[in-house]
């Protein structure tokens, strides 16, 4: 009889370990994906000073736009969200800061259209290509983050996992969402 109780107790402990370890692994995957998102945004932020310096040489009288890019970068690099504090409000602050950088970079690239020598500058072309590649990497990492988050959220919400997730304090994670107005195509005028 003792042996049967010991076997049942052992099975229950092993089962509990499984119910605990799986979401831990999934949570680590979400955290790692978030770190990759931040790495790519940091890569973009690191490209900005070189891009601004290159443009500055050709478009010195566009100081307001250049300063706007530098200021947006500075604000964005101050918004740091750790995986443990990744809630909806933090993610919205992070996205707003990154959106401001994207907008400022868009204005900077529009300025380049007015300077044929700048558009032909090899350094500018290389930086522009790196920035474009970084934007693609950001999109890929955001998608990976959302996928890891979806898998984790689905797992901790399924029965009986939801019981153990609640007992062990596993909470639903937030997703990156498209910015307001992203569903509308930009208006292009020539």
- Tens of pLDDT, residues 65-116: 888 899 999 999 999 888 888 888 999 999 999 999 999 998 888 888 888 8
Q: In the predicted model, what is the mean pLDDT of residues 154-159?
A: 93
Q: What's the mean pLDDT when you consider all of the chain? A: 84
In three-state secondary structure terms, 86 is: coil
* DSSP secondary structure string for all residues of 107-150: HHHHHHTT-HHHHH-HHHHHHHHHHHHHHHHHHHHHHHHHHHHH
According to DSSP, residue 185 is labeled P
pLDDT number for residue 190: 28
Its pTM stands at 0.79
pLDDT at residue 187, rounded to an integer? 47
Q: How far apart are CA 33 and CA 45, in angstroms?
A: 19
**CB neighbour list of residue 123: distance below 8 Å, 6 or more residues apart:** 50, 54
Residue extents of the structural domains in the chain: 25-168
51: preceding bond cis by omega (within 30 degrees): no
């Amino acid at each position: 009889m003792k042996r049967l109780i010991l076997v049942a107790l052992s099975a229950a402990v092993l089962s509990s370990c499984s119910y605990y370890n799986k979401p831990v692994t999934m949570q680590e995957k979400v955290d790692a994906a978030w770190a990759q998102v931040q790495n790519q945004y940091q890569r973009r932020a690191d490209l900005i000073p070189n891009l601004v310096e290159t443009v500055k040489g050709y478009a010195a009288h566009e100081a307001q736009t250049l300063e706007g890019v530098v200021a947006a970068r500075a604000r964005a690099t101050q918004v740091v969200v750790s995986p443990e504090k990744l809630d909806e409000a933090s993610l919205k602050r992070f996205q707003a800061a990154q959106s401001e950088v994207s907008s400022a970079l868009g204005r900077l690239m529009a300025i380049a259209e007015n300077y044929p020598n700048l558009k032909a500058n090899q350094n500018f072309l290389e930086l522009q290509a790196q920035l474009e590649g970084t934007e693609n990497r950001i999109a890929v990492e955001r998608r990976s983050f959302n996928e890891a988050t979806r898998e984790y959220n689905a797992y901790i919400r399924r029965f009986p996992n939801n019981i153990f997730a609640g007992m062990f304090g596993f909470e639903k994670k937030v997703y990156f969402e498209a910015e307001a107005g992203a569903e509308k195509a930009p208006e292009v005028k020539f």
